Amino acid sequence: MSVLVFAESSEGKFKKTALEVTSYGKKVAEQLGTNLVVLTMNSSDSSILFNYGAEKILTVTNDALKIFNAKLVANIVKQAAEKESSQVVIIDSNANGLYFAPMAAANLNAGFASNVIALPSVTSPFTVKRKTFSNKAFNNTQILTDVKVISLAKNAFGLVENKVSGTTEEFSPVLVDSNLVSTSIEQTSGKVTIADADIVVSAGRGLKGPENWGMIEELASVLGAATACSKPVSDLGWRPHGEHVGQTGKPVSSNLYIAIGISGAIQHLAGVNSSKVKVVINTDPEAPFFKAADYGIVGDAFEVVPKLIEKLKEFKANNA
């Protein structure tokens, strides 16, 4: 018996979400009275996982895994879960995790629940709370199979230190064939992505035109934030599609979401609602975003944002 967590690393380094799923997995293992096993691939040093509760680390090292292949990874997770007799398998909600988690579940003939936001409320029958209806509600889902696979929503649990003295074991799974070939990867480097960002600065049609995004980028850079936009802004070609957030765009679950010149349409809010703290800057006090926000400024973005940038720079200088 065990709980198995997949901890994703990139260029040998663990992502924050890897530490989050490990923290979560440790608590689930405690609830079930069993041990936490963490599976890693091509990470140079996994010892940090002991700080978050990994009792056993399985390390797979293989050049064939340098480029992510969902079918390969899903199959390795299956082999690890079988080897460790895992009852529960936990995966993060990064792009790769979302891709292979349901494949791993199908491999294991396991019931699968995505968007899980809390520890199981009951372990028998195994019941988890999930986001549903695009963040407009939650549901409590029972997983009825012996083996259960869950995807933990990003930033839903946080990091919990829990130092244990664990062991590390080399694991050499069989690699299945995949004739799906990755030919190239284009990734903007040095820019915070919406998926990884703690803070997201987002702007809408209230900004009037693409030429006005300089101040949005500057505000984001002062805060170390990612930039995002409303759907019409990307439809109009003012900003790249990758920045479109909302129900039909990227979901945001950052710690802080700042919405500038965005009215707060239901489809927009659905995608950003799970951010912990929301700030709105809008000229119209009746804009629906004020109902969803924690803090609001009624004002003109073209006056407020430059001032806010200056004030934040001062704040950063004093708190460095």
Ligand X SMILES: Cc1cc2nc3c(=O)[nH]c(=O)nc-3n(C[C@H](O)[C@H](O)[C@H](O)COP(=O)(O)OP(=O)(O)OC[C@H]3O[C@@H](n4cnc5c(N)ncnc54)[C@H](O)[C@@H]3O)c2cc1C
Q: Are 140 and 111 in contact (CB under 8 A)?
A: no
Gap between the Cα atoms of 73 and 292, Å rounded: 39
Residue 127 binding result from other proteins, ligand X, none, given CB thresholds of 5 to 8 Å by partner type: other proteins
Please identify the residue of the shown chain whose CB is closest to the bound ligand X. Answer: 246
Residues in 226-265 at the binding interface with ligand X, rule: CB under 6 A:
230-233, 246-249, 261-263, 265
Query: Is 283 near ligand X (CB under 6 A)?
Result: yes
Identify the residue among 53, 97, 166, 204 touching ligand X (CB under 6 A). Answer: 204
Query: Is 97 near ligand X (CB under 6 A)?
Result: no
Identify the residue among 40, 86, 107, 202 touching other proteins (CB under 8 A). Answer: 107
What are the Cα distances from residue 117, in Å, to 17, 20, 304?
13, 12, 35
ω into 306 cis (within 30 of 0): no
Closest CA to 139 of 169, 114, 163, 103: 114
Judged by beta carbon, residue 160 or residue 164, the one nearer other proteins is 160
How many positions of this chain bind ligand X (CB under 6 A)? Answer: 26
CB atoms within 10 A of CB 298: 14
What are the Cα distances from residue 113, in Å, to 78, 283, 284, 300, 305?
16, 41, 40, 43, 41
Gap between the Cα atoms of 21 and 107, Å rounded: 21
Judged by beta carbon, residue 192 or residue 229, the one nearer ligand X is 229
Identify the residue among 6, 112, 213, 238 touching other proteins (CB under 8 A). Answer: 112
Residue 259 binding result from other proteins, ligand X, none, given CB thresholds of 5 to 8 Å by partner type: none
Gap between the Cα atoms of 131 and 270, Å rounded: 11
Binding string, 183-222, against other proteins, x = CB under 8 A?
A: xxxxxx--x-x-xx-xx-----------------------
Binding segment (CB under 8 A) for other proteins, from list 38-46, 48-56, 208-216, 302-310: 302-310
- Minimum separation from the CB atom of position 12 to other proteins (A): 17
What are the Cα distances from residue 14, in Å, to 40, 66, 74, 90, 190?
9, 14, 19, 16, 17
Positive or negative: CA dihedral 95, 97, 99, 102: negative
Q: Using CB under 6 A as the criterion, which residues of the chain lie in contact with ligand X when the complex forms?
A: 204-206, 230-233, 246-249, 261-263, 265, 267-268, 271, 281-284, 287, 300-302
